[in-house]
Amino acid sequence: MGSLERATARLANLPSRDAVEAQQAAQQAIEERERAIEAIAGWIAAERQASRPVSPELAHHLTRDLEMGAGILVRVAVDREAARIGLAKLGRESQILRRLNNSGNTKTNTIDYQG
C-alpha cells in the first residue's frame, strides 16, 4: 500500500522547470503507480479468495489515493497538452521570424532608379 502512496506523491511533486525531465519523471511515476495498483488488486483478490474482508479504513485510504492520483494524471495530461500547444506556437513564430529575416537579405535582379 505504501508504494501507491509513494508513486502518488511523486506524481504530485513533478519537476516543472524542464519539460523533458518532467515528462520522464511523470512516466516513471505512472509506471510505478500502475505496478502498485496491480499489486494491490492482486492482494485484494487473494484476500477475497481466502474469505478475509478488506477493512473499511484500508478501502477508504486506497480509494482516496486512487482518486488523488487520477486527478494528478488529469493535470499532467493538461500540462502536457499545453506544452505541446506552446511548442507548436513557438515553432510557427520562429518560422515566421526566419522568413522575415531571410526576406530582407535577398537581392533582387531589378535596378533601383532612385540612386
pLDDT per residue as tens digits for the range 35-60: 888 888 888 888 888 888 888 888 88
Average pLDDT, the chain: 79
What is the pLDDT averaged over residues 72-95? 86
- Strand blocks (E) in the chain: none
Alpha-carbon distance of 53 to 58, in angstroms, equals 11
pTM as predicted:
0.55
Alpha-carbon distance of 54 to 46, in angstroms, equals 11
Place of cell 479468495: 49
Spacing of C-alpha 80 from chain mean position = 5
